[in-house]
A = this chain, B = another copy of it.
Amino acid sequence: MQNFTFYNPTRILFGAGRIADIAKELPTNARVLITYGGGSILKNGTLDEVKAALKDVTVYEFSGIEPNPTYETLMQAVELARRERIDFLLAVGGGSVLDGTKFLAAAIPFSGDPWDILAKRAKVSSALPFGCVLTLSATGSEMNNGAVITKRASDDKLAFAHRLLFPRFSVLDPTKTYTLPPRQVANGVVDTFVHITEQYLTFPVDAKVQDRFAEGLLLTLIEDGPKALQEPQNYDVRANLMWTATLALNGLIGAGVPNDWATHMLGHELTALHGLDHAQTLAIILPAMLQVRREEKRAKLLQYAERVWGLNAADDDARIDLAIEHTRLFFESLGVPTRLSAYGIGKEAIPALLSQLERHGMVALGEQGSFTLEGSRKVFERAE
């Protein structure tokens, strides 16, 4: 096992009806800004439920935080929050609203241009406290301190993380995910799956607990992912997926083990150039990535084949092939295509994707730092 530091102070309020408990989590006399995206929380009653829970609290609202939240939109919220002396933020939504709210938490008390927090790693020495009511299970942002923000003006998409940016609390009420469109549910399962494999399918360091936990999360996705599409109001299924998504990226399974994240880096360029959903890009890249890097990942792929897919083929290479094929078919079974061609993207798109990777410095990726542009080319070709 590698040395690690683990710290995660977010309080999780899990279960149906827990929105009713949020007032107790706020500071006395808080001035709260509720942040959200489009209209879904208006339509499905979640916003009303939140406001009812905060009926004795001073509350403002900021809506319109978009998927891949932008600096331009968020700066309007910064202005509003400063003007109204907001001292607590409450994100109601999925990963984008949460990520946007993390940026607000850092930007509101920041004295310079808040974009410098991302672009120049400007020092953040204070942040507004914030909580969250999660309505979409996927990114894990509800129990970590990271966020990704886009600047529309320059098409930059930058990530940041800070010790002050853990949510104070996150309400995880599985019933709030009942009304999600199937595509978002399927995307959430794929996104969670690949969060796990990025931390698990690397090379062995005899970290038995982390391996077992990662495998347990993957098995839960495999068992309950398809059910979530078949039975949208099955409470336990939604609960298991919600808790799995949170634990997949709260620091626990990645502590003390090598981390990869190359699949995400290649996927980001597909989203940037072709507008695919994040999860779609991961479903395309992961199977090809595992094939191209099968020697480097051999030991863990064999473990994955046996423990996650129950494969016992005598021949090791056959077992690895089968495990990768099972992975691909699992994504397909959720309705998420795993080939570039299925999204109308052909071979001719590859050079531009590689240029983007190069421009962003993504030339030495993976758990060993040895995955180069040549590897990326092979992965895109295999994913055709």
Q: Which residues of A are in contact with B by a Cβ distance under 8 Å?
A: 1-18, 205-209, 211-213, 215-217, 219-220, 223-224, 236, 239-240, 243-244, 247, 255-256
Contact = CB atoms under 8 A, between A and B. Distances in A.
Contacts of A7: 9-12
Contacts of A212: 212-213, 215-217, 219-220
Contact of A15 (B1, B208, B243): B1
B14 A256 contact: yes
A188 to B, nearest CB: 15
Given A1-B15, A216-B216, 18 more contacts: A2-B15, A3-B18, A4-B12, A7-B10, A8-B9, A12-B255, A205-B236, A206-B236, A207-B240, A208-B223, A208-B224, A208-B240, A209-B217, A209-B247, A212-B215, A212-B216, A212-B217, A212-B220
A134 to B, nearest CB: 14
Contacts of A3: 14-18
Nearest to A207: B240
Contacts of A5: 11-14
Nearest to A237: B206
A239 B1 contact: yes
Contacts of A209: 216-217, 220, 240, 243-244, 247
Contacts of A1: 14-15, 236, 239-240, 243
Contacts of A216: 208-209, 211-213, 215-216
Kindly name the residue among A209, A216, A255 whose own CB sees the greatest number of chain B CB atoms within 10 A: A209
A209 B220 CA distance: 7
The 8 closest A-B pairs by CB, nearest first: A212-B216, A3-B15, A9-B9, A206-B236, A7-B11, A6-B12, A1-B239, A208-B220
Contacts of A14: 1, 3-6, 255-256
Contacts of A206: 236, 240
A207 B240 CA distance: 6
Nearest to A169: B7
A220 B3 CA distance: 18
Contacts of A211: 216
Which among A4, A219, A255 has the highest number of chain B CB atoms within 10 Å?
A4
23 contacts: A1-B15, A1-B240, A3-B17, A5-B11, A7-B9, A7-B11, A8-B8, A8-B9, A9-B9, A14-B256, A15-B256, A205-B236, A206-B236, A207-B240, A208-B216, A208-B224, A209-B216, A209-B217, A211-B216, A212-B220, A215-B216, A239-B256, A243-B256
